[in-house]
Chains A and B, each alone.
Chain A
Amino acid sequence: MLVINLAFILIMTRLSPYFLYAGNGFANFRVMLVSMAMDSIVLAAMVMLLVGGMFDLSVDGVVNMTGVITGALLVSGLNVALAIAAGVACALVVGLINGIAVTRLRMNPLMTTLGTWWVSQGIAFGITQGISSHTFPQAFIDIGYAQPLGITMPIWYAVILLVIAVWVLAKTKFGYHVYATGGNREGARLHGVKVDRVTIISFVLVALASALSGIVYAARLNAAVPQTVNGLNLRVISGAVIGGCSLNGGEGSIIGALLGLFFMTMLTNASIMLNISPYWQMCILGVVVLIAVGADALAKRRIPAA
């Protein structure tokens, strides 16, 4: 993946110097980094969920819902901390519902998280009634735009969350249990791994990361729009899978997923630079995802799991 990424950068730099460095000091690359950072907030938690053998389609809805709830409360005059707490609490509820539904109630994760995506997206639309709230207090805007040490907030969030996620997955007992749960759920349970707890915690972490993402988006836009993100969820899951996370669980790493996401980000960006229409961009991204999933399936066939 690293090699593919470097090759891609080289090719694109030849096609257009603006891709990497020309213009205002790596301007385009900085744009890509910030966009990747925004996605990485969710990616950090999503990788954990994927490695544990689950996935979550409700992310876009939760991001938008959290932004809208927090935004509406801010505009109504509530203080910043309380408005954020309320938004996060709603996201937490969605995460708990997802986790409990697929474990205790044995509901299908695809339909469950599709359902909660629908509900949370509906809440976002319902609250705004199509009218977005905007003009937030400076303290809130700083959450998205402050630049400690000259580095913009989304990069801070992304780096901190990714580092924590790498550490949790690779070093902690919880991380080991996530891999065991994804690799052989019943086997792990027989050995005393609390597999349901692992899954519920992972769903909650994805929801909380989505909440943070929604708040940061609202702060950066200085507006809470019910359709702030549309496609972030699939971009993150696709990036992770391209980067080596198996949808069957048990396999994958943060670093790999990040490289996959980087590739997806570059591909989107390059399509824009090369003036490919957004419709064809979708098509290209789709083909790349299909190739990645196909390669994953082929690899599976060669090495049957125990």
Chain B
Amino acid sequence: MSTETMLDQAPARELRRPLLELRKVSKFFGALRALHEVDFSIYPGEIQALVGDNGAGKSTLVKTISGAHQADRGEFFFNGKPVSIASPDDSFALGIATVYQDLALVGTRDVAHNLFVGREPTRWGMVDRRRMVREARQVIGLLNVDIPSVDALVSQLSGGQRQAVAIGRAVHEGRSILVLDEPTAALGVRESHQMLTLIETLRDQGKAILIVSHNLLHVFRIADRITVLRGGQVVGTRRKSQTSGDEIVKMITGADML
């Protein structure tokens, strides 16, 4: 079953224009084909989940969207207009913020700086440390997580606290799209719950959200649509209301579907 037929069955929302659309995007690492002609869309005010087994190409797709990798083939459209995402700056300029699977934090720096690495606010040609600290406190407050202080070195935080810092950064800078690669992987039950609630709040504010997760419970709780990736190819996209955990598992593993 193709993505198109699925969308035919799911009217209303998909008639809107996607905020970000990928057409036939391919990515190679040497001879390894990590992504093959991936068609993929993200809509404003929606949570789009991306699932698939280890090595399916989820993080690779995330990184082509964030500008960390350059796609070898394919086209990107933002609000219907063709764009190129060749660097993290291009992605940032489109209002896309990404939480990477390995978090990409600088352990030797404090929480405040980590929330702004690469985008440090300046004043009179110098880094505006006061503003950084002030905004860092706001972000941490918003996330409602327990982080000792914005002066704490990230290397001294727990795994969950680090994840919160990485997400805080994305929430702070993501103006249109938030891309989250395994955002709940290191979080406890209560923290995961809080995180999912936060993601729903952001969706309700009209942001487009792409979330990668192995936790189908989480996926089914918050996703509006689910895309399954296997061996670098899109197996299919389903509205949550029109699929089941069973079907998604079959799509992920490649077991007989129809």
Residues of A near any B CB (own CB < 8 A): 171-173, 175-177, 179-180, 182-184, 186-193, 246, 249-251, 303-306
Residues 99-128 of B contacting A (Cβ, < 8 Å): 100, 102-109, 113, 117-120, 122, 125-127
Contacts of B106 in A (CB 8 A): 179-180, 183-184, 187-188, 250, 306
With A173-B127, A179-B108, A306-B103 as given contacts, are A190 and B155 in contact (CB-CB < 8 Å)?
A: no
Structural contact, A306 and B105, CB atoms closer than 8 A: yes
Q: Which of A171, A188, A246, A306 contacts B118 (CB 8 A)?
A: A188
Residues of B near any A CB (own CB < 8 A): 66, 68, 87-89, 92, 98, 100, 102-109, 113, 117-120, 122, 125-127, 154-157, 162
**What is the CA–CA distance of A250 and B108 in the complex, to the nearest angstrom?**
6
Structural contact, A191 and B162, CB atoms closer than 8 A: no
Structural contact, A176 and B89, CB atoms closer than 8 A: no
**What is the CA–CA distance of A187 and B125 in the complex, to the nearest angstrom?**
24
**Nearest-CB residue, chain B, relative to A184:** B106
Structural contact, A172 and B126, CB atoms closer than 8 A: yes
**What is the CA–CA distance of A188 and B109 in the complex, to the nearest angstrom?**
12
**Top 5 closest pairs, chain A to chain B, by CB:** A306-B107, A250-B108, A187-B104, A191-B118, A183-B106
**What is the CA–CA distance of A303 and B157 in the complex, to the nearest angstrom?**
10
**What is the CA–CA distance of A172 and B123 in the complex, to the nearest angstrom?**
10
Structural contact, A250 and B109, CB atoms closer than 8 A: yes
Q: Which of B105, B119, B122, B125 contacts A184 (CB 8 A)?
A: B105
**What is the CA–CA distance of A187 and B156 in the complex, to the nearest angstrom?**
17
Of B66, B87, B127, chain A has the most CB atoms within 10 Å of the CB of B127
**Min distance, Cβ A178 to any Cβ of chain B, angstroms:** 11
Structural contact, B108 and A192, CB atoms closer than 8 A: no
Q: Identify 25 residue pairs between A and B in the complex whose beta-carbon atoms are under 8 Å apart, listed by A's number.
A: A171-B126, A172-B125, A173-B120, A176-B117, A176-B120, A179-B113, A180-B106, A180-B113, A183-B106, A187-B100, A188-B117, A188-B118, A190-B98, A191-B117, A192-B88, A192-B92, A192-B118, A249-B108, A250-B107, A251-B108, A305-B155, A306-B103, A306-B105, A306-B107, A306-B162
Q: Which of B87, B109, B122, B126 contacts A192 (CB 8 A)?
A: B87
Structural contact, A180 and B127, CB atoms closer than 8 A: no
Q: Which of A176, A191, A246, A249 contacts B127 (CB 8 A)?
A: A176
With A180-B106, A183-B107, A187-B104 as given contacts, are A306 and B155 in contact (CB-CB < 8 Å)?
A: yes
**Min distance, Cβ A296 to any Cβ of chain B, angstroms:** 13
**What is the CA–CA distance of A145 and B188 in the complex, to the nearest angstrom?**
66
Instruction: Supply 6 further A-B pairs (C-beta < 8 A) apart from A180-B117, A188-B106, A250-B109.
Output: A179-B106, A183-B109, A187-B102, A187-B103, A251-B108, A306-B103
**What is the CA–CA distance of A189 and B89 in the complex, to the nearest angstrom?**
10
**What is the CA–CA distance of A180 and B112 in the complex, to the nearest angstrom?**
12
Contacts of A192 in B (CB 8 A): 87-89, 92, 118-119
**What is the CA–CA distance of A32 and B115 in the complex, to the nearest angstrom?**
43
**What is the CA–CA distance of A192 and B89 in the complex, to the nearest angstrom?**
6
Contacts of A187 in B (CB 8 A): 100, 102-106, 117
**What is the CA–CA distance of A190 and B88 in the complex, to the nearest angstrom?**
6
Contacts of A173 in B (CB 8 A): 120, 122, 126-127
Q: Which of A172, A179, A189, A306 contacts B157 (CB 8 A)?
A: A306
